[in-house]
């Protein structure tokens, strides 16, 4: 599975034609203000994230034996944590359209780790990530606890991946993956890779599932580089986290929920991938030549 999507919230291999954003030049007052924002935002975010995780794991001890794959309670904890983190970062959340309520999955353009908080804040979803992420310190633990679906890149495991997706979808989970296969600077949408769309054509699922395209359109804080929230290529996580947490408020993300599409309507995985890509790309300006 060589074109499996990048892990949720992890940078991929895409390289921008322009260098990454440089740190903003600030005077003494600006640097002090940024330091003060870091001093309170990082501890609050850590307390909210890990406190929420502890509560989720405790409730999961009861929820799992009673409900199995279904998670009727713990996703609300994840959703609440994500809403608080976005508020702490000063990132305004704007939604257009309605998240689907029926069975199925969401597919979205991928800008960076902030996407995870944005999408979870508006819809209780389970992300699809590369299997390597499960072993990453800290991040892997968080991903497993919140029900992330891990996939292998090996083509020999394609049948197993479909079976895993089918089980989760039949359990009523809303899966979310990023068909670009990598993250970007947030100013563009890359071509969608059709591999994982095949899971929606499993016998018995094509007529009852929906796939909802979702566009994430970020607006940087005043004075910041337009690519402020983008996290791609070889950009390190911790410096990007610090830059995001130190930035002044005023940033925003518009989440556009497009009408869901059924696999049966699309006909095959490639057509479904093209239809979703066209919908997600629609709010973005055409690429400059």
> Is residue 10 in some structural domain?
no
> Is residue 35 in some structural domain?
yes
The pLDDT value given to residue 157: 64
Look over the chain and give the mean of its residue pLDDT values, rounded to a whole number. 86
> Is residue 217 in some structural domain?
yes
By the 10 Å C-beta count (0-12 exposed, 13-18 middle, 19+ buried), 20 is classed as middle
Q: Which residues 6+ apart lie within 8 Å of 1 measured at CB?
A: 151, 152, 153, 154, 155, 157, 158, 161, 195
The pLDDT value given to residue 273: 95
Q: Average pLDDT of 1-5?
A: 40
| Better-scored residue on pLDDT, 272 or 5 | 272
Q: Each residue of 15-40: pLDDT tens digit?
A: 777 777 777 677 777 788 889 999 99
The answer to which of 120-124, 150-154, 215-219, 230-234 has the lowest mean pLDDT is: 150-154
User: For the chain, what is the domain count?
Assistant: 1
The answer to which of 17-31, 73-87, 241-255 has the lowest mean pLDDT is: 17-31
**Is a pLDDT exceeding 90 seen at residue 80?**
yes
> Is residue 11 in some structural domain?
no
Q: What is the pTM of this model?
A: 0.89
Range of the domain at 258: 29-281
The pLDDT value given to residue 130: 75
Q: Average pLDDT of 156-161?
A: 68
> Is residue 249 in some structural domain?
yes
SS (H, E, C) the chain: CCCCCCCCCCCCCCCCCCCCCCCCCCCHHHHHHHHHHHHHHHHHHHHHHHHHHHHHHHHHHHHHHHHCCCCCCHHHHHHHHHHHHHHHHCEEEEEECCCCCCCEEEEECCCCCHHHHHHHHHCCCEEEEEHHHHHCCCHHHHHHHCCCEEECCCHHHHHHHHHHHHHHHHCCCEEEECCCCCCCCCCCCCCCCCHHHHHHHCCCCCCCCEEEEEEEEEECCCCCCCCCCCCCCCCCHHHHHHHHHHCCCCEEEEEEECCCECHHHHCCHHHHHHHHHHHHHCCCCCCCC
For residue 289, what pLDDT band results from cuts at 50, 70 and 90?
low
> Is residue 16 in some structural domain?
no
**Is a pLDDT exceeding 90 seen at residue 254?**
yes
Compute CA distances 182 → 37, 84, 168, 190, whole Å. Answer: 30, 26, 23, 9
Q: Average pLDDT of 156-170?
A: 74
Q: Each residue of 101-122: pLDDT tens digit?
A: 888 899 999 999 999 999 999 9
> Is residue 81 in some structural domain?
yes
Q: Average pLDDT of 208-234?
A: 92
């Amino acid at each position: 599975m060589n074109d499996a999507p990048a892990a949720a919230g992890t940078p991929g291999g895409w390289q921008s034609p322009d260098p990454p954003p440089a740190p903003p030049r600030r005077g003494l007052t600006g640097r002090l203000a940024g330091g003060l924002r870091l001093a309170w935002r990082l501890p609050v975010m850590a307390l909210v994230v890990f406190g929420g995780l502890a509560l989720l794991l405790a409730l999961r001890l009861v929820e799992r034996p009673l409900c199995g794959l279904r998670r009727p309670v713990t996703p609300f904890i994840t959703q609440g944590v994500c809403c608080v983190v976005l508020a702490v970062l000063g990132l305004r959340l704007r939604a257009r359209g309605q998240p689907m309520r029926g069975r199925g999955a969401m597919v979205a353009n991928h800008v960076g780790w902030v996407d995870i908080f944005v999408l979870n804040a508006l819809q209780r979803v389970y992300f699809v990530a590369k299997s390597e992420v499960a072993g990453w310190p800290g991040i892997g633990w968080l991903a497993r606890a919140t029900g992330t679906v891990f996939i292998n890149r090996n083509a020999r495991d394609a049948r197993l991946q479909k079976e895993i997706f089918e089980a989760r979808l039949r359990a009523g989970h809303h899966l979310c993956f990023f068909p670009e296969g990598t993250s970007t600077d947030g100013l563009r949408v890359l071509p969608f890779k059709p591999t994982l769309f095949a899971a929606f054509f499993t016998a018995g699922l094509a007529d009852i599932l929906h796939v909802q395209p979702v566009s994430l359109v970020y607006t940087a804080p005043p004075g910041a580089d337009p690519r402020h929230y983008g996290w791609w290529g070889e950009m390190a996580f911790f410096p990007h986290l610090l830059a995001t947490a130190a930035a002044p408020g005023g940033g925003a993300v518009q989440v556009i929920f497009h009408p869901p599409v059924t696999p049966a309507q699309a006909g095959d995985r490639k057509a479904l991938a093209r239809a979703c890509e066209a919908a997600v790309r629609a709010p973005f300006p055409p690429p400059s030549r």
